[in-house]
Structure 1
Amino acid sequence: MATVNSTPSAHDRINELTEEIKIRSTPFRRLLDEIGRVIVGQRQLIHRMQVGLLTNGHLLIEGVPGLAKTTAVACLAKGISTDFQRIQFTPDLLPADLIGTQIYRPQQQDFAIQKGPIFSNLILADEINRAPAKVQSALLEAMQERQVTIGHHTYKLEEPFLVMATQNPIEQEGTYPLPEAQMDRFMLKVLVGHPTRDEEIQILERMSKTKTSMEVNPTLSPEEILRARDLVDQIYVDEKVRDYIVDLVMATRDPGAYRLPLADLIQYGVSPRATISLTLAAKANAFLCGRGYVVPGDVKEIAPDVLRHRLIVTYEAEAEEKTSDDVVRSILDHVAVP
C-alpha cells in the first residue's frame, strides 16, 4: 500500500512564509506612512533606513544640508519607540567623546565607566568625514563588532543598532574622505536629492510656521524588528536570482566577460561583502513588499545603493565625468535579467 507524502513542498512553505510576512510587514508600511505625516517626500531614504534595520546594516547618506536627514532619523526613532542620538562630527572630536571613558572616583578609589552616545539604538553620525581617522575607526569598529571596549571592559551594544552617517562632498574644505576599506563597511550609500516642485510647495505649507509638529505615533517595537529579521533570513532566493546577483558583482570585476566596454572605467570591482549585502537588501525589500521570495526587481532596485560606494572608477572615468553611478547603471542595463 502506497504512503502519502505529507511533507509540505517548497512552494507551500514559501506561500506560508508570504502570508506571515504580509502580517509582520504591515507595521513597517504603517511606519512609512506615519513618518510621511511629518516629512514630505524622502520615502526612498526612509525605505532604505528600514532595509538597514531589517538587515542589521548601516547607511552612509550623502546630500546637501536641509534635506531632513536628521528629522528622518528622529522620526524613525519615535516610530519604533527606541533611543536616538545625534553626534556632530568635528575635527577636534575624540574617540572618548563617542564611545565613553573611565572616570576616577577619589572617594571609592576606583574608576567608573562613563558611557558615550554610541550606546543608543539609532545613531546619526552627522558629517562623519569632518572627524579625524581615529574617531571614524572607533565608530566603524562599533558598527562592525556591535560592541565597545572602554579600558579593560567590553560592552555589547543593544539591538537593533543602526548608524546613519552623513557625508559632505569631498570638495568642501575641512573634510577627511573615508578610505575605501571603511566605506565598504556601510551596507548602503543613499543619495538624497532635492524635493520636486510639488513637494516643495507641501513643505512650504507644512513647515513655514514658528512651531511645527514632530509627532510620530509608535508603530513598531525593537522586539518586532528582531522577529522580522528572522523572517528576512527565511525569504527564498531562487537559483536564477542568486546567479543574477553574482553576475552583477562579477561584471564590476571583469566587464569584458559580459561584453561591457567598461574595463577602462573601473579601477577596482566590488568586494564579496557587496554580494552578501545585495542579497540581504533584496530580501529586506521583498519583506517590505509583503513577499516571501526575492524577484529580480528587488535586486535591481536596491543595487545602486549597495554598489555605488564600493566600485572605484579610474582617472579616465573621472576625465570623462563618469561616476560609479554611471558605471553601475550601465551594468544593470546590460546584464541579462532572469
Structure 2
Amino acid sequence: MSDLDAFIAGLPKAELHLHIEGSLEPEQMFEFGRRNRVDMPFKSVEDVRAAYEFSNLQDFLDIYYQGAGVLQTEEDFHDLAVAYFDRLAADGGVHAEIFFDPQTHTDRGLPFSVAADGLLAGMRTAETKHGISSKLILCFLRHLEEDAAFDTLRAAEPYLDRIAGVGLDSSEVGHPPSKFANVYKAAGERGLLKVAHAGEEGPPEYVWEALDLLKVDRIDHGNRSLEDAALTARLAAMDMTLTVCPLSNHKLCVVEDMTRHPLKRMLDLGLHATINSDDPAYFGGYVGDNYRAVAGSLGLTKEELVLLARNSFTGSFLDEERVALHLQAIDAYVAAN
C-alpha cells in the first residue's frame, strides 16, 4: 500500500450517495437466493459477474432490479446493510446516508416494513459494531408515475421519524424532476429533507428543475452542471453539495476516461463536491476505491482529498455539533499524518 493509499484509508469520511440494494455482491445474491428458494437465471457467481458488464444506465438497472428479487426477509435487508457497513468501516467511513428503493420491493409483493425494518436494524447493528452513524433516505423510482410515489410516501408514514429524507433515482432521461414536484412538496411538508439524482445522464436543465421545482437540499451526481456556466456559478454560490460517484460514472460511460473526470474541475470552480460509491457491487468499488481512483487518475493532492472528506460531513444531514466533531477528527488525523 502506497503512502497516499494508507492516508486515504485512515482519513475519516462520510458517504452520502449509496444505494443499499446496489451493494448486493454476487456471493450475497447466491446466499440470499438459496435461503429464500428464489429461482435465479444464473448458475454461478461467475455468471453474475459476467452479467455486470454493461455500458449504460438502463442495462445496469435491468440487472439491478433482477438482483433485488433475492431480498425477501428482514434478515436479508439487515445482513445486506451490515455487510456494506463492514466495508465502509474498513475504508475509514464513520457516517453514511443510504438510499433504499421501497417500490422495487413493494411492487413484487413485499410489505414496506420488510425493507425498512431490516435496514434500520442493520443500521443499529453497524452503530454498535463500528460506531458508524447513519441516516436512511427513501428514493422514488422516476420511471414510475408520481401517483406511485405518493403511494410510497403514504406507506412510509409510520417510519417518518426514522427516515431522513426522500430522493429520486432510476432512469433519468425522459423523467425530469418536474414530474415529481407535487410529491416533493408533500415530503417537505412532512419535514423530510430532499435530494435528487440530476445531471448524470440528464441535461443541466434537470439540475435547474431539481433546485427550483423540487427545492432540493443536495444534488446527486450533477456532473453535467458544468456544461452550464450560470448553473455552475449558482451551485457554487449556494454551496450546494454534489454527491459525485467517479467509478460509477466510468462504468456507465458517463465519463469515458477517469483522467478526464470532472471532479478536480468541480473543486477548482468552488463546487462542494464529495466522493461516493453509488452501487459499489456493480461499479467496481466502495468509497475507498473511489478516493484512490480519482487520487491516481487526477493527481489529487492530500489537501484536495482532505477537502473532499470535509465536504462529506459539511454536506451531510448531521447536526452542526456532530459535523464539528467529525471535522475536528479530520484535523487531528491530518496533524498526525
TM-score, normalised with respect to structure 2: 0.28
Q: Which has the higher contact order (CA 8 A, sep 6+)?
A: 1
Query: Which is richer in helix?
Result: 2
Q: Return the TM-score normalized by structure 1.
A: 0.28
| Larger CA Rg, structure 1 vs 2 | 1
